[in-house]
Amino acid sequence: MTAVPILLKHQSAARARAGLDTVALGLPAVLFVAALGWRLSGAAGAAAAAVLGIISLTAVAVWRSRPFDRRWLIGELDARIRRFEDSAALLFRDPATLAGLAALQRDRLEGRAYEAAAIDLRPGWSRRAILIAWGAAVVLIAAILLWPATNGSETGTAAPVRSAAGAAAPVLTGARLRITPPAYTGLPVREQTALNAGVPEGSRVDWTIDFAPQPTMAGLDFPENAPVSLIRDGQRWTGARIVDRSMLYRITAPGMAQQRLNRLDAITDGEPVVRLVDPQSQLVQLTPGQRTWRPVFEASDDYGVIETATLRITVTKGDGENITFKQRSMPLRGQGTAKQLRFSTTLDLTREGMAAGSDLIVQLIVTDNRSPERHTVESPSVILRWPANLAMAEGLDGMAMRVMPAYFASQRQIIIDAEALIARRRALTGDAFTDASNVIGEEQAALRLRYGQFMGEEAEGGGSGGGIILPTSDAPAAPALPTADAPAPRTRPEEHHDEHEGEDHADEPAAGGMGKEVDVLHQFGHAHDDRDVATLFQPQTRSALARALDAMWASERELRQGRPEAALPHANTALELLKEAQRATRIFLPRVGADIPPVDFSRRLTGKREDIVAEDPEAPERAPADAVAADAWRSLEERPGSTSDPLALGALDGWVRANGGRLDDPLALRAAIDTVRNEPTCLDCRRRLRALLWTALQRPTPAPGRRGAPGARGQRYLNGLR
């Protein structure tokens, strides 16, 4: 075994050479990425890029060293040293396991092991590739370090100008923002070179500004906010501010050209969102034998929800005006990540005092980790209802409002009558069978009209049944005259829409004579009963009811034509759709007692009436007119010589301040106004301001136009009326 260490040194040397060659090839790329990160994001970006580059380079070096294993070493020894006689593998085996010729051959190789110490098995250097990599890295890094600092249109690296005294005016050559979010957000500190930034509300922003040449003083000017003075630190100027709301600012220095306004947008922390996971609906019926209930809520927030929440539990008893309720609270601890927690608990219905006719109402109250003022949000209430008895379970004891009567027996009767008529077909003559079928069709029509009132439809005019009128002679029928006393035409249910197009109001009362009081609404308009319960239906319920009316119409059509077999499928479909609509036409409310304000006994029997009658409400304030903005928009129109026209920018800026509450982005408008004020000849700036003003103008309220003067014929008519 004395020869094995000598041979293993060759393997270690080969692996080391492969790793060093990889480092020599990849280190220039790491340095280039680090320099690029420093230029884009400062020291933090350089450190992050360097760490990622070193990790990647190490992984590649280990991967390139893997081929140099024991098998490779044996192959190289057999190929390089002929006296090993292709038996180098015997040197790495245990002598105790060898016998005969194999043991004799291994002893012979032990004596020749000194020949392996003189050879070099390390792979060669990638000299050409290394030189190219380092040369390219030096050029690129030098270009990155020597490239002039630019900050977009905000900094404006213009050529230095001369002041009146002949000294060069300072020019902004570089700027860096360090943004430190509030601790509760958990966000890392970041740096950027852009002067516009969106930061979490309450963040600290530190500025590092470079000038050339150095000014005597510098600062940050915030319109509507106190300015910040920059402090010189060597060749740089620094300053800081807490951003608690969105604001505009610019960098100022004596003699420096005025910069455009930059923006700091404060991103507000949203309130937590609470979602009901289980059960699926907010009203749950107690099942027979149920003893426990486990509601599950899920709370999420931008930066985190506090692990402990409060579950408000309310138990009600009684019905009508004799409802009593008991309320208590219990803490819950959530499970999951800080930004998304799930809260659940198992409630013992017996311990909570549930009984027949009771409601168990739970509501989760969660709080986020916002500082200093936290957001508190209450979840929707979830109701577990124990019906008083079987009958109340069917009608939900009056707290579930029924909004559609049960006419299903009539629809079932129509189906039964149609089936009985089909069975008696052989016993009836053709006319008698058709008449019997038409009678059932009239019953179907009456039922359809009863349901149609819940969809906003009126009863049909004409005969008692409103049926199809067949001609009694071969002579063609005379065309109906368009008179007001003509019966209303028959319409299908789907042809009556909410827009009331094509409705006939012949059955409405006629208008009174000249000078008499008339009902203008019923004469010239269309009124529905305000108690129309169709407005209580959900969209899916309205859809099911509308499809049921269509099926009834199809059933009626077939019955009136003497085809009850073809009417049965439509009648059955109508019955199923009516059942579906009835299951969804209830409105559920929690049964809790009234929370009446406490009685002030000091005022009883005194006769004082102060503060007990509501005062007349103040007239609502009208939105200020947009005349200033509209005039500015017209003045900004591009035409010859338009850039020399005076603009009332001061009045426009005041209008923006006064109407900032209703504008989508008042900061953008104010920045555009400031830019046009400082650069009146900038066409792009004027176009941007005009575009922003167009979106800020309020749409005028529609108003009836003034009627034009009547003609000669119209004037004679008016004179005749007088």
Is the pLDDT at 580 greater than 50? The verdict is: yes
Rg (CA), the chain: 45
Residue 536 confidence class, pLDDT cut points 50, 70, 90: very low
Higher pLDDT, 214 or 532: 214
**pLDDT > 90 fraction of the chain, expressed in percent and rounded:** 19
Nearest to 490 by CA among 527, 449, 526: 449
Residue 4 clears pLDDT 60, i.e. is over it: yes
- For tokens 């280990």, name the residue: 62
More confident residue, 471 or 112: 112
Handedness of CA 515, 517, 522, 524 (dihedral sign): positive
pLDDT (average), residues 518-537: 46
Residue 356 has pLDDT above 90, yes or no: no
Tens of pLDDT along 641-678? 666 667 788 888 888 888 888 888 888 888 888 888 88
User: Comparing 469-483, 598-612, 632-646, which segment has the lowest mean pLDDT?
Assistant: 469-483
- Say if residue 428's pLDDT is above 60: yes
**pLDDT confidence tier of residue 319, bands split at 50, 70 and 90:** low
Check residue 486 and give its pLDDT. Answer: 37
Tell whether the torsion through CA atoms of 31, 36, 41 and 45 is positive or negative: negative
Tell me the per-residue pLDDT of 192-214, one tens digit each, with 9 for 90 and over. Answer: 999 999 999 999 999 999 988 88
Q: What is the DSSP letter of 6?
A: H
Query: Lowest-confidence range among 24-28, 64-68, 113-117, 289-293?
Result: 113-117
Q: Band of the pLDDT at 534, cuts 50, 70, 90? A: very low
Model confidence pLDDT, tens digit, residues 152-181: 334 444 444 454 445 678 888 889 999 999
Count of residues in the chain: 722
Q: What is the dihedral of CA 649, 655, 657, 662, to 10 degrees?
A: -130
Residue 251: partners with Cβ closer than 8 Å, 6 or more residues away: 155, 172, 175, 195, 207, 209, 218, 219, 220, 221, 259
Q: State the average pLDDT over residues 585-598.
A: 59
